[in-house]
Amino acid sequence: MAEIGQDIIQAKKFLESGKLVAIPTETVYGLGGNALNPSAVASIFETKNRPSFDPLIIHTSSLERVNDFVASFPDPLRKLAEAFWPGPLTLLLPRKKIIPDLVTSGLDRVAVRVPKHPLTSELLASLDFPLAAPSANPFGYISPTTAMHVESQLGGKIPYILDGGNCQVGLESTIVGMEEEKIVIYRLGGLEISKIEKIVGPVHIRDHSSSNPQAPGLLESHYAPRKPFVLGDLDSLVEKYSRENKRFAVMSLSRSFDQIGEGLQIQLSELGDLNQAAQKLFASMRFLDEQEVDVILAEKMPAIGLGNAINDRLKRAAAEV
């Protein structure tokens, strides 16, 4: 079992020796390793059972330190960094040779962000290197939003989990880059598109399904529970699976069903608050996945604000492998 605590000095020692440490961020918990150490980066892929063609995000403590790792910083993307870092924004930037090929899967750009969490910010500021840190879970499974989520899945494989409490955003970062002078959203996430457009104007949103992604976390089937996960109209689905005598659980935005037991249905937000729904999404999926059911039923969120990013995660959780 991994040690769980808030000892930044201990976490730093493990990272400096090439070991992996789970770190809290405002989005989800990350599995951190020295991004400049190919052996440590390889350990991340091995520990998560993550395919090497899926690139990693590197995390650092400030906008100023990003210049150590990137070859250039286009002005529109710099404006986004100035507006939203630290925060749930990842930028795709031309990399310097100091970044190992394994981090970027051989691509010319590296994904960079400055996370917003006091413990991790202090840890990153104390290190001489950035951390490569994908979500701290087995590849393809639901992302962790508490230290115990990490312990239950990776605790036997890593020495230390830095416990920063519950993640406040609950969705991975929004990934943004540029192509031919246009701003491109590669992954919907915890930073709303409307806020980005207020800074840089209209953006192009990329199709998020890819078997050879240009940015982290873009595979078609991802964030998925072990149980079958079905997305659609809940009235029809509840009727169908009731008729078939299947044991099922339900996850909705704010609705409840009288015929379903309390422990088998979750309302992400009784008030329909999409920010609250995003914060609870992965923990709720994980809880329902642990129940004795045949299938988990869910509905799409309103396509506004963070609802678009939640729907992206729901769609990929429901995708067939």
CATH of the domain at 255: 3.40.50.11030
pLDDT of res. 211:
42
Shared domain for 168 and 299, answered yes or no, is no
Mean pLDDT score across all residues of the chain: 93
Per-residue pLDDT band at 215 (split at 50, 70, 90): low
pLDDT above 70 (res 120): yes
- Higher-pLDDT residue of 188 and 320 is 188
pLDDT above 80 (res 56): yes
Could you tell me if residue 211 is inside a domain? no
Shared domain for 52 and 129, answered yes or no, is yes
Annotated binding-site residue? 43: no
Weakest mean pLDDT among 4-8, 102-106, 222-226: 222-226
From residue 34, how far is each of 128, 153, 189, 213, 291 by CA, in Å? 9, 21, 25, 22, 37
Q: Residues of 77-90 as b/e, b for ≥16 C-beta within 10 angstroms?
A: beebbeebbbbbbb
- Higher-pLDDT residue of 191 and 207 is 191
Stretch 11-32: mean pLDDT? 98
Annotated binding-site residue? 11: no
Give the C-alpha separation, 16 to 129, whole Å: 9
Number of domains present in the structure of the chain: 2
* Residue range(s) defining the domain that contains residue 251: 229-318
Per-residue pLDDT band at 198 (split at 50, 70, 90): very high
Contact 215, 55 (CB under 8 A): yes
36 phi/psi in degrees, rounded to 5:
-95, 0
pLDDT of res. 217:
61
Annotated binding-site residue? 95: no
Tokens 């240009």 appear where? 214
Annotated binding-site residue? 135: yes
3-state secondary structure at position 239: helix
Annotated binding-site residue? 226: no
Per-residue pLDDT band at 52 (split at 50, 70, 90): confident
Tokens 């994904």 appear where? 111
Shared domain for 176 and 236, answered yes or no, is no
Shared domain for 117 and 253, answered yes or no, is no
Per-position DSSP letters for 118-178, written without gaps between them: HHHHHHHHH-SS-EE--BSSSTTSPPP-SHHHHHHHHTTT-SEEE---S-SS-SPPEEEEE
Shared domain for 105 and 11, answered yes or no, is yes
pLDDT above 50 (res 209): no
Could you tell me if residue 8 is inside a domain? yes
Annotated binding-site residue? 50: yes
Annotated binding-site residue? 143: yes
Q: Which of 150, 170, 205 is the endpoint of a domain?
A: 205
pTM: 0.92
Could you tell me if residue 59 is inside a domain? yes
Annotated binding-site residue? 113: yes
Give the C-alpha separation, 228 to 295, whole Å: 5
Shared domain for 197 and 245, answered yes or no, is no
Q: What percent of the chain has pLDDT over 70?
A: 95
Shared domain for 40 and 96, answered yes or no, is yes
3-state secondary structure at position 224: coil
Encode pLDDT of 142-192 as tens digits: 999 999 999 999 999 999 999 999 999 999 999 999 999 999 999 999 999
Per-residue pLDDT band at 259 (split at 50, 70, 90): confident
Could you tell me if residue 53 is inside a domain? yes
Per-residue pLDDT band at 220 (split at 50, 70, 90): low
- 262: Cβ–Cβ under 8 A, 6 or more apart, which residues? none
Encode pLDDT of 284-293 as tens digits: 999 999 999 9
Shared domain for 184 and 241, answered yes or no, is no
Give CA angle at 222 (217, 226), nearest 5°.
Answer: 150
Give the C-alpha separation, 163 to 20, whole Å: 14
Could you tell me if residue 218 is inside a domain? no
How buried is 141 (Cβ within 10 angstroms: 0-12 exposed, 13-18 middle, 19+ buried)? Answer: buried
Shared domain for 239 and 184, answered yes or no, is no
